[in-house]
Structure 1
């Protein structure tokens, strides 16, 4: 109602036509000199005036026929219409109107009671009470951070002057400018820059922002949308231990699954549905295109940019044709690069049908260093869609618990990386393996063995397990071949860049 072109009559008419229900007007806008200065309370027949000064006081002034006859007639007519509409839905109010033979005899308390009754009788309100959670049932996870910061990054935007701007929703603690934060998902600490409060497109710099507010932070290079941040790694571990302790109690509102989800590897981003190649118009725009894709990936986690080692092309993956077209338009408008998109392809997947377990032992010597790693893994099919980052599971059985507990974090990271690489290309049609979990049963490593050797061994074992299980999937169009030279299969020429086609020919 604070807009110059607003109309209460048209708004009420639109609601009545679309929802096919009568509108109860409890207040009317009070306009002076083209500006909204308050409202008129139909029930109490008072003017509620807003003071726009720093005190922000509310003043109530009674409406009388002598002081403002035009407004008095409008309020009286609207109040009569309100009672008339309510009496058709509330029998008690209807009997009161009939017995008094006048709408003026109905008191404010009678109208409030009638509005309360007809509102509660609506099935929608019943559903709100029956099915939606109460404020007392709010998530209790973030209270485990005590006085420490707990904030979730929900948006990343790149500004030409300020650089990357990360938007945070603060759940607990205070966000200060130029403070050091720790990303639980990225497992990295970063120094923040300036702190802003967003007012539409305007950013106002502040020193600190408390919980329950939205903070805009500059200077972050690693934090992505969906990351949970706190003051330090110690604070994150302390909060996790506290929540796990609460989850072990009977009838606790904090569940272990919720704790693992909160401290997991990031938001559940669906796998891409379509993909296509993307190329700059010339080599002069290659650097600008790479910068654009890197920044857009931070802003949109559902966008994937990969490099195809077979063709040397950059592959753009997204949720659909419109999604990829929007990305192309943004690259053109914001980065001035007229990128070329290749033919759109469907991103098919592969999935296992049965559980397979195997072990790999690597015992070799590279230079003067002995490299030894012994790993036992299982590929387990699941009915649910398992996304990137959730594939590796740890064997919690009594036989494997002691061995798993002694694995160093850097070795676990190498194992996870090896599993991710191993499921990138399936054995049947070369597509990503999904709907599967890879469980780690046993791990042994020799002194001085590098993380790259561990990751390579795990990748080899995962691919070996994939060959043993029965995979199912559908072929991608991009896997069609046009010629075979020396047992190497090349993709169709229309899927290749001009440089690669000239090399093949």
Structure 2
């Protein structure tokens, strides 16, 4: 995990297994869980938890529908308590002490020195300090228990955040260090307000942010003026003059900033950070690598897998629909909107059926536009199976001007996991071509990537190498791009195209008596069974299924 974090287990599920939850954290999140609490009861009988560090019992007694989890009792474990709870707490605390000792050398020395005869006698304060060191060094992730339904366990969770997670000045982020005391913040959410316009949530990593000040957006390469600065408290905001590092602010007036953008105080501040990064670098290669990534890591959004057309009720509402879609795209980076070049329709691209349904509902509810959605379709891709070389010459006369260009290029398949497409030039070609011609060549290649040779789907996993470009004087950039696109189509056909179908990783938990019908249903959906595991009294089926076969959710017999 990239950041220090806390994990909280929800124990209101039916017959949850603590050990299974811990194992899931290890296998699915690739983290090293450090269990700090054990539950008292589970499911509907979950009433409290035991803090393994302090050996205290925390209980919530409310059971009515109006109970909000605010009232709770804290008491030390007594010999008169449930023997099973006492034994479980003792074993879990011993495991915790041994685990922390394996991860923290200072704590291990303390145990072997002062508490070698009785590990359980180690003070709670020493154990808590060791857990914090383990968290800060990212060797382990504290895990706590709770219930979201009745807010049980919320108070210990908040205490754990302040006890174990790092303060802003304890983070060793190279990028933030280069900015020193200058502003460096990350825009992580955008919300549109009808009266105030776009409201941008930012996390301040260094320096301070002030109202009525100009800030520089590294990703957009532009300066914007912030009119107001607000401190958010749930659904309330308090206007403030400034805010320092470590806080989350709500800004008003940043009209170009989107989710994932990095905001600094000025362009000069960004340039100074570049100089510091280059100064610290030990070689030219590392200097280039570091100085090219002065933006904070934003949100990594995969390509959409579903798309459908969206139309307004009348042409008079088209401009309003475009405005609504622009606002929603700023809020949601996973939403893509494009125009179909053949039909002129507006195409909505999202991550799933539910995602597109939510967007459709928000347009109706927040922007008062009754839109019509076309049939939902899966976003297929194309790639090539082998390398191929092609040459093409375009000779065309427009008016009294003759345009002649010859292109030779090579297409190669990238590794299977690659979802991008690259274009490079041979060294000799790169030095001969002007910047305008190179841009025209790249535009032609990118245009060819949009429609594959098999069924016209976008191409991925292909690398194009421009080997030769020759053009007569006066040949326009548009003709160069057209020739390159035509040559690309030839090469892609020669390389042997293949359609790629998105698949869904599926995990189905069923009783053993329903396993056969589920397997039959998956077979009808062209699914591939990867594994069948046992989990308590149930069977867990792991499979991959083509996304097109999952357009309609699994039948009720599977869900049951």
**TM-score, L = length of structure 2:** 0.56
Match for residue 153 of structure 2? none
Q: Is 1:302 aligned to 2:315, yes or no?
A: no
| CA-CA distance at 1:294 after TM superposition | 1.3
Could you tell me which runs of 5 or more consecutive residues in structure 2 were left unpaired when the two chains were aligned: 1-38, 61-66, 95-117, 143-164, 503-560
Distance in 1, Cα, partners of 2:192 & 2:198: 4
Contact 1:15–1:23 at 8 Å: present in 2 too?
A: no
Structure number, greater radius of gyration:
1
Match for residue 172 of structure 1? 206
Match for residue 371 of structure 2? 339
Aligned with residue 323 of structure 1, among 355, 366, 389: 355
Q: Is 1:312 aligned to 2:310, yes or no?
A: no
* 1:21-420 to 2 correspondences below 5 Å: 113=122, 130=139, 138-240=172-274, 242-243=276-277, 246-249=280-283, 260=292, 267-356=299-388, 378-383=410-415, 385-386=417-418, 391-392=421-422, 418-420=444-446
Distance in 1, Cα, partners of 2:305 & 2:333: 14
Distance in 2, Cα, partners of 1:284 & 1:418: 36
Contact 1:227–1:267 at 8 Å: present in 2 too?
A: no
Q: Pick which of 195-204 and 330-339 moved more.
A: 195-204
Report the 3-state secondary structure (helix = DSSP H, G, I; strand = E; otherwise coil) of the residue aligned with 1:433.
coil
Q: Pick which of 274-283 and 79-88 moved more.
A: 79-88
| CA-CA distance at 1:276 after TM superposition | 0.9
Could you tell me which runs of 5 or more consecutive residues in structure 1 were left unpaired when the two chains were aligned: 1-10, 43-73, 92-108, 477-505
Aligned length: 406
Distance in 2, Cα, partners of 1:381 & 1:29: 59
**TM-score, L = length of structure 1:** 0.61
Residues 385 and 474 of structure 1: CA distance in aligned 2, closer, same or farther (over 3 Å):
closer
Match for residue 6 of structure 2? none
| CA-CA distance at 1:194 after TM superposition | 2.3
Q: Please report the RMSD computed on the Cα atoms of aligned residues, expressed in angstroms.
A: 5.4
Contact 1:30–1:37 at 8 Å: present in 2 too?
A: no
Contact 1:361–1:374 at 8 Å: present in 2 too?
A: yes
| CA-CA distance at 1:324 after TM superposition | 0.7
Q: What do residues 21-56 of structure 1 show as CA deviations (whole Å, max 9, x unaligned)?
A: 85557568899xx9999999x7xxxxxxxxxxxxxx
| CA-CA distance at 1:167 after TM superposition | 1.8
Q: What do residues 315-371 of structure 1 show as CA deviations (whole Å, max 9, x unaligned)?
A: 111111111111111111111112111111111001123344667788989889999
Aligned with residue 451 of structure 2, among 403, 425, 433: 425
| CA-CA distance at 1:77 after TM superposition | 5.7
Match for residue 107 of structure 2? none
Q: What do residues 405-448 of structure 1 show as CA deviations (whole Å, max 9, x unaligned)?
A: xx76x887766655443311112211111123445678899999
Report the 3-state secondary structure (helix = DSSP H, G, I; strand = E; otherwise coil) of the residue aligned with 2:330.
helix
| CA-CA distance at 1:169 after TM superposition | 1.9
